[in-house]
Chains A and B, each alone.
Chain A
Amino acid sequence: LAKTTQPISMDSYEGQEVNITCSHNNIATNDYITWYQQFPSQGPRFIIQGYKTKVTNEVASLFIPADRKSSTLSLPRVSLSDTAVYYCLVGDGGSQGNLIFGKGTKLSVKP
């Protein structure tokens, strides 16, 4: 089975840029990489999705190198409300296309 690895936790201060990296070996050719944000007592919420190179939306950027074995979520100028757990999701490299989440990175933003 494909495995994803993320840092367990990260600390930051308001206004800083935060980069969270996820390693994912055995990613399938057709799989996209997706990042989700989760607040306590809520379901995860979609942040951004990409296939390769760089993707940017109004809240984040996603950097994916050519070998696609990792991805980096970049959050510009974080605020206290960005304190949450961030998950990366890729499909299993196997034929069944199972969905593999990382264990999540707990981001704590301090004033």
Chain B
Amino acid sequence: KAGVTQTPRYLIKTRGQQVTLSCSPISGHRSVSWYQQTPGQGLQFLFEYFSETQRNKGNFPGRFSGRQFSNSRSEMNVSTLELGDSALYLCASSLRQGRMGTGELFFGEGSRLTVL
């Protein structure tokens, strides 16, 4: 069974640009969540999508957005990049359906973004 696939694995952008990251979940998983990981802040929750609808959102500015397609694949977009956006962006999929509780998350290997 294929795991969670994230593309691209590495990318370099400059300030002011925008970036789109892609995540393909495990087959049958309808929940996809995104996280930002930095050395100083650890793992921070960005948002979660379920059946093409964003149902939870973390405390990030509106420059961070996402969407989910009918096949459960998800993309996240960061506009007007800042130096502080340099991070590892992780995607996770799960069978989680309800709002409460967590369920087991299956993570991809992440997309490492460097903003110059």
Give the interface of A toward B (CB within 8 A).
1, 28-32, 34, 36, 41-46, 49, 87, 89-91, 95-104
Contact = CB atoms under 8 A, between A and B. Distances in A.
B75 interface: no
Q: Which applies to chain A's interface (DSSP): helix, strand, loop or mixed?
A: loop
Interface residues of B, number: 29
A89 to B, nearest CB: 6
Nearest to B59: A1
Given A43-B4, A103-B41, A104-B42, A34 B56 contact: no
Contact of A43 (B59, B102, B104, B109): B109
A28 B92 contact: no
A90 B100 contact: no
B45 A34 contact: no
Contacts of B4: 43
B45 A101 contact: yes
Interface string B93-110: 000001111111111111
A32 to B, nearest CB: 5
A103 B42 contact: yes
Interface in B75-116: 90, 92, 98-110
B11 interface: no
B58 interface: yes
A31 B56 contact: no
Given A28-B100, A99-B48, A43 B41 contact: no
Given A42-B109, A43-B90, A101 B102 contact: no
Contacts of B100: 28-31, 91, 97
B97 to A, nearest CB: 11
Contacts of B103: 32
Given A36-B107, A43-B108, 13 more contacts: A29-B100, A30-B100, A34-B104, A43-B107, A89-B105, A97-B56, A97-B98, A98-B48, A99-B33, A99-B48, A101-B44, A103-B42, A104-B43
